[in-house]
Amino acid sequence: MDKYELRIITWTGILLVIFLVSVLRGVSKYATDLPECIPYDASFTAPRISQLDDSTYQVFMLAQMWSFEPDEIYLPVGAEVDFYLSAKDVVHGFHIAGKGVNMMAVPGGINKTTTKFKEPGIYPIVCHEYCGSGHQHMKAEIIVNYPKEN
């Protein structure tokens, strides 16, 4: 190994450590993480919205060919939501762009993530896994206090 090779190995090591530290820091500082998986329990697969207190909600979302249930979710600004996701038939996706909410809905599995809606607006939910010929028509939205009420 010559000195240039040693140098490049060192730089590579440093670079990878920087990357890793950034990844871990991202998780702790912004309190983001990958979805949490919950042991399967059929009660999680019944679609519903429940309000725990003023600003905390649970949404039990069921994806199916080719719709989401519930498909309109009204929330106040600042609501913190636990999404529980499952699939009735085949695999679907669940993506809220810009919120980092990105999960797979897999039959036989329960997925969970938590996010907070600080800005009013309409947040479309997109199914981003191919789920058959109607895949592109799957539709759901989260309406956060919009249009703004005064």
Partner 1 sequence: MKFNIDKGFKRILLLLLSVPLVLLSLGIYHGLMQTLYRSGMISQRTFAALDYYQGLTLHGVINAIVLTSFFAVAFGHACMSYYLNMKVRNSVAWLSAGLMIAGTLMASWAMLAGEASVLYTFYPPLKAHPAFYIGTALLVVGTWVAYFDWVTMYIRWKRKNKLVKTPLPVIGTLVNFTMWFVCSIPAAYELLVMLLPWSLGIVETINVPLARTLFWFFGHALVYFWLLPVYVMYYAMLPSLAGGKLYSDNAGRLVFFLFLIFSIPVGVHHQFGEPSITRGMKLVQSILTFGVAVPSFITAFTIAASLEYASWRRGFRGGNYFGWMLRLPYFDKERYLFSYLITGLILFIFGGLTGLVNASYTLNSMVHNTAWLPGHFHMTVAGPVFLGIIGMSLYMLERISGKTIRLKRLAVVVPHLWMFGILIFSTGLMAGGLRGEPRRTNLGLSYLNPESPLFRPDWVLTTGMAVVGGVIMFAAAGLFFIVLIDLLLVKKTETSHLEFPAYEVLHDEPRVGILDNFRPWLVIMGMVIALAYIPVFRDIANLTGPGAKPYHPENPVPLELFEQPNEEIK
* Residue 74 within binding range of partner 1, rule CB under 8 A: no
What is the bridge-based pairing of β-strands 67-69 and 92-96?
Answer: unpaired
* Residue 39 within binding range of partner 1, rule CB under 8 A: yes
Cα dihedral 28, 31, 33, 36, rounded to 10, equals 120
Q: How far is the CB of 77 from partner 1 (least distance, A)?
A: 21
* Residue 107 within binding range of partner 1, rule CB under 8 A: yes
- C-beta closer to Cu ion: residue 77 or 104: 104
DSSP state of 126: B
* Residue 106 within binding range of partner 1, rule CB under 8 A: yes
Q: Please choose, out of 36-44, 51-59, 72-80, 142-150, the segment that lies near partner 1 by the rule CB under 8 A.
A: 36-44
Q: Give the residue, chosen from 73, 81, 101, 127, that forms a contact with Cu ion under the rule CB under 5 A.
A: 127
Say how far apart CA 27 and CA 9 lie, in whole Å. Answer: 27
Binding partner selected for residue 27 from partner 1, Cu ion, none, CB under the kind-specific 5 to 8 Å limit: partner 1
15: left (phi over 0), alpha (psi -120 to 50) or beta: alpha
